[in-house]
Each structure stands twice: as C-alpha cells, then as structure tokens.
Amino acid sequence: MRILVATIIAVMLTVAFAGNALAFSWATSNADIYGVGGQDVVIPAATPDFTTLNSLSNPFGGMINFNTPMEKRTVDVSWVGWNDGAPRPMLWSGDHANSFRINFDHAICAWGMKLKANRFWTFDFTFGLSDGHMQNLTIPSGFDDSPTFFGFYDTQVDWIDITALPDLQNNEDPLGIAFTDMTVAQCDPVPEPATMVLMGLGLLGAGVVRRFKKA
C-alpha cells in the first residue's frame, strides 16, 4: 500500500513539473511553428488598405491584440520593397511606432512572423518575451530585401515586445515596423492541480479496493 501511495505522489509531481518545464527553442522558419501544430493568423484580405486594426483573431480562440493601431497594407500593391513572393496582406505600425507589444488573450507556446523596418536601411531589433527570454536581431531593410523571419517554440508566453532601434550612426529612423505571415501554436493542455489530486485519489481508491479483494 505504501508503495502504491508513493508511486501516485511521484506521478502527480512529475506531471506538475513537466507542465512548467518547457524546453525553449528559437525558431528558424514558419516550418518550426507548423511542426508543433501551428496555424496561420489571418490578416483579413477584404479589409481595405490603409484601414487600422487593433487585433486579429487567434485561430485557437481569443484575440491577438496590438497596443498600437496597425495599418493594413497589401504587399506589391500599396506596399513596395519586399521581394519575397505573391501579394498578400500585411500590417505596419506607422511612421513613428518603432516599438509595440503583441498581447494574447490565451497564452501561446509557439509564434513566428516575417518583418522588417519601413525605412530602407539596416536596423537592430530586440524581442522580449513575457517569460523573460530576450533576443537581438539585425534585419536589413533595403529595397527588395525580403522580410526576416523571427520566432520561437516550446515556451508559454502572454505577450511579446518588438522594438526597432534607431541607427544613431547614420541618424536613420526605422519609420515603423511592418510584418506578415504570422503563425501561432497553442499550448498542450496540462492537468490542473485539482484534476491531478482527483486522479490520485481515484488511483488510491482503486488500490484500496484491490487490497480488500485480496484479503
């Protein structure tokens, strides 16, 4: 009986810690996000260009919110300088919004998108995640430079900060951040403590019944 109780406690603790001990990885392409069940975040193509949006629908439920209004454009139609494929909807933070936060109604465990500064130059970016991870990235923004992918997976976050730093040496302002092809993945459900306790009591009860049957 003692062995059974110890085993149940060990299993419960293992499940509890496993839910909070995700292995972190920086993603190298949207394929990494698709590999953990990611889905594309749709920028509504029917929305007229130059319309501002404050949020997008999360394919897993809830909304993806921006703390600054984002202007909808169309690559190769109302937005030029991206040499990376067919026309598609994208969002821009505006001339002087060189930093913004993406908030998720429900925590996500993988995210990625392609982005670069509006100004035709090269700028340093910083990415800060709500779990404490930070990353710096230098992104070329010259005419016909493809937007650069950035992302991560296997960590749970509620928000992401993105900042394009001014080029002080050349006195160049990024003039906002533009992005497209956002992909997210939801977190695997982890049993809540109450659920694990009930599961443990059920196993314990089953063990007691079995012991009495043997007696």
- Closest by CA to 180, choosing from 203, 147, 157, is 147
pLDDT tens-digit profile of 126-155? Answer: 999 999 999 999 999 999 999 999 999 999
The whole-model pTM stands at: 0.79
pLDDT tens-digit readout, 6-35 = 444 444 444 444 444 468 999 999 999 999
Q: Is residue 195 domain-resident?
A: no
The neighbouring-strand residues paired with 135 are: 127
* Mean pLDDT calculated for residue range 176-194: 81
Domain that holds residue 183: 26-190
CA distance 122 to 131: 28
Number of domains in the chain: 1
Average pLDDT over residues 62-78: 97
Confirm whether 99 is domain-assigned.
Answer: yes
In this structure, what CATH number is given to the domain that contains residue 66? 2.60.120
210 vs 110: which has the higher pLDDT: 110
With tokens 């991206």, the residue in question is 82
